[in-house]
Chain A
């Protein structure tokens, strides 16, 4: 068995549409990816979870809570490259829609914000950590994702 790319697939505030699309891309790429990718973290596929020595972390979703903020910084520390996946990770929206609510609506949701440790504003990844690549789209653009994955495989010398 050759060398594999050590990957993490993680989600924050989002609808996980790109995770679903990733599972749909597997319909065509399953046997190729099982030989090339070593999933260290991927809750949608497995219970096994080891957040250390990651080559590439694919992160879907925006940063909405204090816990998200803490976790995403840990992921950045453990990963050589970070790829922002989908609109919420790249731009914050639509998960960040509460940032632009009027005062009356903000008042309506303030108890949830306080009770569950939400941040004052929902943020795209690049405002919280360094992001190396972005795959935009709602859901992510499949072609760009495949190009970025290919580039990462090449960069880490995976044949």
Chain B
């Protein structure tokens, strides 16, 4: 059977993703023997580092797990500490928290679509090469990304390691005047955001493989609150997530992976759109009506289109709040601490993020654990790559490698995040439960 090839693919330092990862694929006799996505980010041991630290300071510390989605870690940890201490935040705090996550989604999705994915569509290596040929497009991308960044600065103080969001409140509240101006600026950038919906709708590579999609469902396409639901049609309470997730240790990677009810699954924008697109903002539904019929989908590249639609949704939600909410100065006071256990669950840009914490009677962290979106997608990514390679064996190696990188990029993986987990049990060379 000489026509069945043996191939060894080895991609070092996958480009245009967040963080460092390498990939090894082994093909023997035309069959994929193994796919190893090796996350090479050095572990920084935050789950150990925050032990015995004050729980009220912990959200700011764990924010440093990841630059690009720092606001997701900050918000999720704030929710977990509030849950442990029994704190009920004000209506204004909840509104500001939604705005903070809207800002994160706009900025982070746009970084992925514009800086990482757009070069694949235009067959160039970087957006720098688009500056002369497609200046309007670069200007549109910068405008949308900049709008997310400015919204983050206004409501959270900065869009990376934001200083205002705290356990139980915000250190600073925008004025109504600032909020109304920001709504105006978002409205201005919205046109450009819709352009990106069309671009990613038209340029849609196809790679389909059936999987299970998991996301929070709350009937409003909010990024926190509600229940965890699967595309297979069942829901679980947030506090029970641990009973349904199984940790799988990858001996070759500095990260870990998860299965849900014993099977691989996908989290992120595509999962949210597949499960919840009926709950999008009414303006988003009106102006994106031409793409919504494409969901649900098993095509992973639809994740890019899902992100583009979410950008519009986040702008529409934020514009509503910024125009109509009556923001009032609210003095922040540090909440009293006590012993307790808490859980935080949010939809981060790349999917569901979980925090579990245990606080002692002095308010110090006894234990913290987190489940990261990219770790949940890990097995799904590897199985997609295996299927892709088997379907493309007749193509030249450079074509296969370029498609693998593009497929990995469609997941928008975040390697800085992925290395954070608590227990490590390395059992020989075979993956084992941790």
The reply to whether B125 and A47 contact each other, CB–CB distance below 8 Å, is yes
Closest to B60 in A: A138
Tell me whether A94 and B64 are in contact in the complex, defined as CB-CB below 8 angstroms, given that A15-B416, A39-B128, A46-B125 are known contacts: yes
CA distance A34 to B134 in the complex (A): 14
CA–CA, A101 to B126, complex, Å? 41
B207 to chain A, nearest CB (A): 20
- Are B126 and A46 in touch, CB under 8 angstroms? yes
Q: Do B145 and A20 touch (CB < 8 A)? A: no
Q: Which of B51, B61, B160, B424 contacts A139 (CB 8 A)?
A: B160
- Counting CB contacts under 8 A, is A79 at the interface? no
CA distance A138 to B64 in the complex (A): 8
Q: Does B146 contact A (CB under 8 A)?
A: yes
Among B13, B70, B126, B159, the residue within 8 A (CB) of A45 is B126
In the bound assembly, the distance between CA atoms of A10 and B19 in angstroms comes to 11
Query: Counting CB contacts under 8 A, is A159 at the interface?
Result: no
CA distance A30 to B44 in the complex (A): 32
Tell me the bound Cα distance from A27 to B138 in angstroms: 10
Mark interface residues in B104-124 (1 if CB within 8 Å of A CB, else 0). 000100010001000100000
Task: Choose from B49, B51, B160, B405 the contact partner of A21 (Cβ within 8 Å).
Answer: B160
How many residues in B have their beta carbons less than 8 Å from beta carbons of A? Answer: 45
Give the contact-size bracket for chain A: 35 or more
Instruction: List residues of chain B with CB within 8 A of the CB of A27.
Output: 142, 145-146, 149
Q: Mark A5-30, 1 if CB is under 8 A from B, else 0.
A: 00000011111111111011011101
Q: Is B161 an interface residue (CB 8 A)?
A: yes
| Given known A-B contacts A27-B149, A46-B15, A97-B45, A16 and B68 have beta carbons under 8 A apart | yes
Partner of B416, one of A16, A64, A105: A16
Hey, which chain B residues are within 8 Å of A46, CB to CB?
15-16, 119, 125-126, 128
How far does the alpha carbon of A84 sit from the alpha carbon of B10 in the complex, in Å?
A: 31
Contacts of B15 in A (CB 8 A): 43-44, 46-47, 49
Q: For A23, list chain B residues within 8 Å (CB).
A: 111, 115, 145
Identify which of residues 156-177 in chain B touch chain A, using a CB-to-CB cut-off of 8 Å: 158-161
Contacting residues, chain A, for B18 (C-beta < 8 A): 16, 44
Knowing A24-B145, A64-B42, A105-B51 are in contact, say whether A15-B426 is a contact too (CB < 8 A).
no
Q: Are A39 and B126 in contact (CB under 8 A)?
A: yes
Q: Is A118 an interface residue (CB 8 A)?
A: yes
User: Which residues of B are at the interface with A, using a C-beta cutoff of 8 A?
Assistant: 13, 15-16, 18-20, 41-46, 48-49, 51, 61, 64-68, 70, 107, 111, 115, 119, 125-128, 131, 138, 142, 145-146, 149, 158-161, 254, 405, 416, 424, 426
The 5 closest A-B pairs by CB, nearest first: A17-B67, A27-B146, A46-B126, A64-B42, A97-B49
For this complex, 24 residue pairs linking A to B, each with C-beta atoms less than 8 Å apart, are: A13-B42, A13-B44, A15-B44, A15-B65, A16-B19, A16-B67, A17-B68, A17-B70, A18-B67, A20-B67, A20-B111, A24-B159, A27-B149, A34-B131, A42-B126, A43-B16, A45-B127, A45-B128, A49-B13, A94-B44, A105-B51, A109-B43, A112-B254, A112-B424
A interface list, Cβ under 8 A from B: 11-21, 23-24, 26-28, 30-31, 34, 39, 42-49, 64-65, 68, 94-95, 97-98, 101, 105, 108-109, 111-112, 115-116, 118, 138-139
